Amino acid sequence: MPEIGQKAQLSKTITDADVRTFAELSLDTNPVHLDDEYAKNSLFGQRISHGMLYAGLVSAVLGTKLPGPGSIYMGQTMKFLKPVFIGDTITAEAEVTAVNEEKQIVTLNTTCTNQHGKVVLAGEATLKYA
């Protein structure tokens, strides 16, 4: 059973191949993710990762570590606070903030942080745990 204050995390460096594969799978071919020339004239001056690509790292933490295998997503809020660039290393972390033992429901704060310690995504997840 999850306990309040319990944490888990994982890290991944976002590669060009990751972004291109995600674009193909999601059908999100926005040139800000895929085209260097287009992205040079964009808000961030270079290509950025799809937000949902690194949001998927949160899902990976929840499904494999905390609460772990057998858990089922019930809801997730998230805010994208800063861009993630190709080559950034993102650490996704989840921390248990509430547990309803009777219903086997856990609430967790979720964040993604880049290699510079800047929070790029923040949110809250609710899951049914096994």
- Whether 38 maps to a domain, the answer reads no
- Whether 23 maps to a domain, the answer reads no
pLDDT > 90? residue 4: yes
Q: To the nearest whole number, what is the mean pLDDT of the chain?
A: 98
- Whether 36 maps to a domain, the answer reads no
- Whether 19 maps to a domain, the answer reads no
- Whether 120 maps to a domain, the answer reads yes
* CATH number, domain with residue 102: 3.10.129.10
* Domain total in the chain: 1
| Tens-digit pLDDT profile for residues 53-84 | 999 999 999 999 999 999 999 999 999 999 99
Map 81-107 to HEC letters.
CCCCECCCEEEEEEEEEEEECCCCEEE
- Whether 79 maps to a domain, the answer reads yes
Residue whose tokens read 């903030």: 97
Query: Which residues span the domain enclosing 96?
Result: 7-14+51-128
Return the percentage of the chain with pLDDT > 70, whole number: 100
Give the strands of the sheet with 7-13, arranged side by side: 7-13, 89-100, 105-113, 119-128, 72-80
